Chain A
Amino acid sequence: MGFLDISHVTKSYGNVQVLHEVDIAVQEGEFLVLVGPSGCGKSTLLNMIAGLEAISSGDISIKGRVINGVHPSKRNIAMVFQSYALYPNMTVGQNMTFGLEMHGTPKPERDRALAEVAKLLQIDHLLDRKPGQLSGGQRQRVAMGRALVRNPDVFLFDEPLSNLDAKLRVDMRTEIKKLHQKLKTTIVYVTHDQIEAMTLSTRIAVMNKGYVQQLGTPKEIYDTPANLFVATFMGSPAMNILPAKVVMQDGAPHAEIADADGARRLLRFSQANLAGWAGRDILLGIRPEAITDPEGADRKSANIQPFGNRVTVTEPAGSDTYVTMSLSGRDVIARMRADAAVVPGQVFDFAVNMEKAVAFDPATELRIPA
C-alpha cells in the first residue's frame, strides 16, 4: 500500500467512461508524472485526487485514509494550476496565506510560514505586489509558494509550465526538480510534455483514452515501452516504427526490411525469443539515436550493425544532425553527430544499434517481451 493509493478508480459522465480502472500506488517522496495527449484523462484523475471531481467508483486514499467525498480543503493537498489561479485582488503575501487563513492558522504562524517559503523561492521582495504586476515566471513561483506554505501531504501540479515561454520553462523545470530533491515531498504532476515527464519524474504513468498504458520509471518507459502508443508518444523525435518480417538466418532471428532502393535487407535481433515469431510480420521499433554514423555508435552495445542506405533529407540542428531516409516505405529518422558528412541523395553507411530495437505484435500493438 502506498502513501497515496489510487485503486480501481473509474470516472464516467453519464454513459461515457473517461477513466478505466486506474490503479497507482504512489510512495512517500515520489514524483509521479501523469503524461498523455489531451483528453487522455490525466487531468480528470488529478482533479479526482484533489476532490474537484467526484469519483465514479473505486477509492483514493492518502496515508491510509479514504478521501472519496472529502472536501478538497480537508484532504491536506495543495495544487498548482496551469493558469496559476492567483487571486487578482490580493497581494502575493495574501495569496500565499489565504489557505492558512481559511484553516484558522493564527497570524504569527502564517507570517512565519510565509517568510520561510518566500525565502526558499526567492520571492521575498514581491510579497506586497498584486499578481497583475508579476512576470510569468514570478507568478509561477508564487503559485508554487502558495502550495508550499500549506505543507501538505501531497502536491498536485496541473501542467504548471505550459504557460511559460520555452526558455523559462526549462529553467522552472530544473527549479521544480531541485525543490523536490530538497524537500522530498510527494508530488503528482500532470503534463502533456513527454520531456517534462522524463526529466522530472521518479515514475511515469503514460495515459491514453482513459487507460494507464504503462506505469514505470522513465528508463523503463523509454527503453521497454509496453505498447506502440507509449513507444511513439515518449521520445522526440518519435521512435521509428516500420513493418518487418522475422526470418531465421544462422540460427538467429532477423528483421527483414526493404531499404530506400527497394532491396531486401536483414538486421539481426538481440532478442533471442523472437525466433518464436519466425515467418511472421512484426512492427520494428528503433529510436532515432539508435541509428547513427559509425563513429557516433554506442560503444557499449554488443550488437551494432552497419547498414548502408540512401539519404532523403538532412536537418542540421546544431548539436546533432537529423537524417531522414526511407525504410520499408516509411520515413525513418536517424540521429548523427553534428559533423557527420551526410549528403542527401547519396548512400551513407549508418550504424544500427539493434540492442535497443524493440518488436511489437501488429495485432495487439503490444511489445513482444524479451
Chain B
Amino acid sequence: MAAPAEVDFRTRLQDSLPRLVLAPSFAATLLFVYGFILFTVYLSFTGSKMLPNFTWVGLENYRKLWALDAWWIAISNIAVFATLYIVICTAIGLTLAIFLDQKIRGEGLLRPIYLYPMALSFIVTGTAWKWFLDPGIGLEHTMHLWGWESFSFTWIKDRNMAIYTIVLAAVWQTSGFVMAMFLAGLRGIDNEILKAAQIDGASNWQLYRRIVIPMLRPAFLSAFVILFHLAIKSYDLVIALTGGGPGRATELPATFMYSYTFTRNSMGIGASSAVIMLMTIAAIMVPYLYAELKEKP
C-alpha cells in the first residue's frame, strides 16, 4: 500500500500565508471604513452635540435635518452643481476627445495642457479662480482696463450665481481627465468598423452619432460614476473658492456636515447628513461595482 501523505508544515503555511498577508489590510478596511460607517450611523440616531453621547433619539436628527433651511440649500446646490458638473465635463471631455482624435498636429502638447489641472489640489484651483473671478482685481477689472467698461462678471459675489463659479472651477479641474477617458475609449474602437460604416455611406456626423458614441458606452458609464462621486464629495474647492458663501449660497452637503459637526456642535445632525451622503453614493456605486466585479468571478 501507499505510504500515508505527510502534509508538511511548509505546505500548510503556504496555504494560509496569502490570507495572513491580506488580513491586516482587510481588517483595517473593516474597522476604519465599515466599523466607522456603523458608528456614524449609530451617532445619527443619538443626541450627540459637541461630543458623542449615546442617548438614543431615534429619527429625531433626520427630522431636524430636513427641517433646516441650510440643509435644503445644500441639497439644492448639490443637485445644481452635480448635474451641471457631470453634464458639462462629459460634453467638454467628449468634444475634446473626438477633436483630438482627428490626427491633430500637436496632440502631444495639447493633451498634457488639458490634463495638468488634475494634478493640482482643489485648494490651489480654488485660490487661482477665487482671485481670477474677483471683480475687484480679476477678469472684470481686466476687461474694464481693456476698455470694455460695461463688462460685468460678479458671479462669485452674487448669491444666486456663486454656485456656478464652483461648477466653472470644478469643470476646469476635471474635464481634461474625462477627455482622457473618452480618448482611450475612442482609441480602443476597431478602425475596421469605422471603415465599414464609411463604405456603408455614413457621413462623419452619422458615423459618430450612430456608431462611435454608442460604442463609448463603457466610457460614459465610468465617467459618470467617477464624476458623480467626486461631485458628492466636493468639499475642498468650496472651502477655497467661496468658503460656502456669500452667506450660505454655495453650501454643499460636505461643507454642511463639517460645520454642523465641528463648529456648530450638532454632531447628531452632522452624522445624519453624512449618512445621507453615503447612501447617495452607495446607490450609484454599489450596483456599478457589483456589475463590474461579477463579470469576472
**A-to-B contact residues, CB < 8 Å:** 1, 5, 59, 61, 64-71, 74
Give A64 to B2 CA distance when docked, in angstroms: 5
B5 touches A67 (CB 8 A): yes
A64 touches B6 (CB 8 A): no
- Measured CB to CB, the closest approach of chain B to A254, in angstroms, equals 51
Within 8 A of A (CB), among B99-124: none
Give A146 to B8 CA distance when docked, in angstroms: 26
Give A59 to B3 CA distance when docked, in angstroms: 11
A61 touches B11 (CB 8 A): no
Give A69 to B5 CA distance when docked, in angstroms: 7
Give A202 to B10 CA distance when docked, in angstroms: 36
- Measured CB to CB, the closest approach of chain B to A210, in angstroms, equals 20
Note all chain A residues with C-beta closer than 8 A to B8. Answer: 70-71, 74
Give A74 to B8 CA distance when docked, in angstroms: 10
- Measured CB to CB, the closest approach of chain A to B188, in angstroms, equals 24
Closest 4 A/B residue pairs (Cβ): A69-B7, A71-B11, A61-B2, A66-B5
With A71-B10, A71-B14 known, 13 other A-B pairs at CB within 8 A are A1-B2, A5-B2, A59-B5, A64-B2, A65-B2, A65-B3, A66-B2, A66-B4, A68-B5, A69-B5, A69-B11, A71-B8, A74-B11
Interface string of B13-51 (1 = CB under 8 A from A): 010000000000000000000000000000000000000
A64 touches B3 (CB 8 A): yes
CB within 8 A of A59: which of B2, B7, B14?
Answer: B2
Give A85 to B5 CA distance when docked, in angstroms: 29
Give A1 to B3 CA distance when docked, in angstroms: 13
Interface size on B, residues (CB 8 A): 10
Give A336 to B294 CA distance when docked, in angstroms: 53
Residue of B2, B6, B7, B10 contacting most chain A CB atoms (<10 Å): B2
Give A71 to B11 CA distance when docked, in angstroms: 5
Note all chain A residues with C-beta closer than 8 A to B5. Answer: 59, 66-70
Q: Which residue of B lies closest to A55 (CB)?
A: B5
Q: Which residue of B lies closest to A67 (CB)?
A: B5
Note all chain A residues with C-beta closer than 8 A to B2. Answer: 1, 5, 59, 61, 64-66
Note all chain B residues with C-beta closer than 8 A to A71. Answer: 8, 10-11, 14
Give A68 to B11 CA distance when docked, in angstroms: 11
Give A74 to B6 CA distance when docked, in angstroms: 11
Q: Which residue of B lies closest to A1 (CB)?
A: B2
Note all chain A residues with C-beta closer than 8 A to B14. Answer: 71
Grouping DSSP codes into helix (H, G, I), strand (E, B) and loop, the B interface class, with mixed when no group exceeds half, is loop
Q: Which residue of B lies closest to A69 (CB)?
A: B7
Give A5 to B11 CA distance when docked, in angstroms: 22
Interface string of B55-87 (1 = CB under 8 A from A): 000000000000000000000000000000000
Give A67 to B2 CA distance when docked, in angstroms: 10
- Measured CB to CB, the closest approach of chain B to A198, in angstroms, equals 32
- Measured CB to CB, the closest approach of chain A to B41, in angstroms, equals 34
Give A325 to B24 CA distance when docked, in angstroms: 69
- Measured CB to CB, the closest approach of chain A to B18, in angstroms, equals 14
Note all chain B residues with C-beta closer than 8 A to A1. Answer: 2
Give A74 to B3 CA distance when docked, in angstroms: 15
Note all chain B residues with C-beta closer than 8 A to A67. Answer: 5
CB within 8 A of B11: which of A64, A65, A66, A70?
Answer: A70
Note all chain A residues with C-beta closer than 8 A to B10. Answer: 71
Q: Which residue of B lies closest to A7 (CB)?
A: B2
Chain A to chain B contacts (Cβ below 8 Å), 13 pairs = A1-B2, A5-B2, A61-B2, A64-B2, A65-B3, A66-B5, A69-B11, A70-B6, A70-B11, A71-B8, A71-B10, A74-B8, A74-B11
- Measured CB to CB, the closest approach of chain B to A104, in angstroms, equals 14
- Measured CB to CB, the closest approach of chain B to A278, in angstroms, equals 49
- Measured CB to CB, the closest approach of chain B to A48, in angstroms, equals 13
- Measured CB to CB, the closest approach of chain B to A223, in angstroms, equals 34
Give A59 to B2 CA distance when docked, in angstroms: 9
Note all chain B residues with C-beta closer than 8 A to A65. Answer: 2-3
Note all chain B residues with C-beta closer than 8 A to A64. Answer: 2-3
Give A5 to B8 CA distance when docked, in angstroms: 21
Residue of A59, A68, A71 contacting most chain B CB atoms (<10 Å): A71
Give A64 to B5 CA distance when docked, in angstroms: 11
- Measured CB to CB, the closest approach of chain B to A49, in angstroms, equals 14
Note all chain A residues with C-beta closer than 8 A to B4. Answer: 66
Note all chain B residues with C-beta closer than 8 A to A70. Answer: 5-8, 11
Give A71 to B4 CA distance when docked, in angstroms: 15
Give A52 to B14 CA distance when docked, in angstroms: 12
- Measured CB to CB, the closest approach of chain A to B242, in angstroms, equals 52
Give A74 to B7 CA distance when docked, in angstroms: 11
- Measured CB to CB, the closest approach of chain A to B16, in angstroms, equals 13
- Measured CB to CB, the closest approach of chain B to A133, in angstroms, equals 28
Give A74 to B4 CA distance when docked, in angstroms: 15
Within 8 A of A (CB), among B184-224: none
Note all chain B residues with C-beta closer than 8 A to A69. Answer: 5, 7, 11
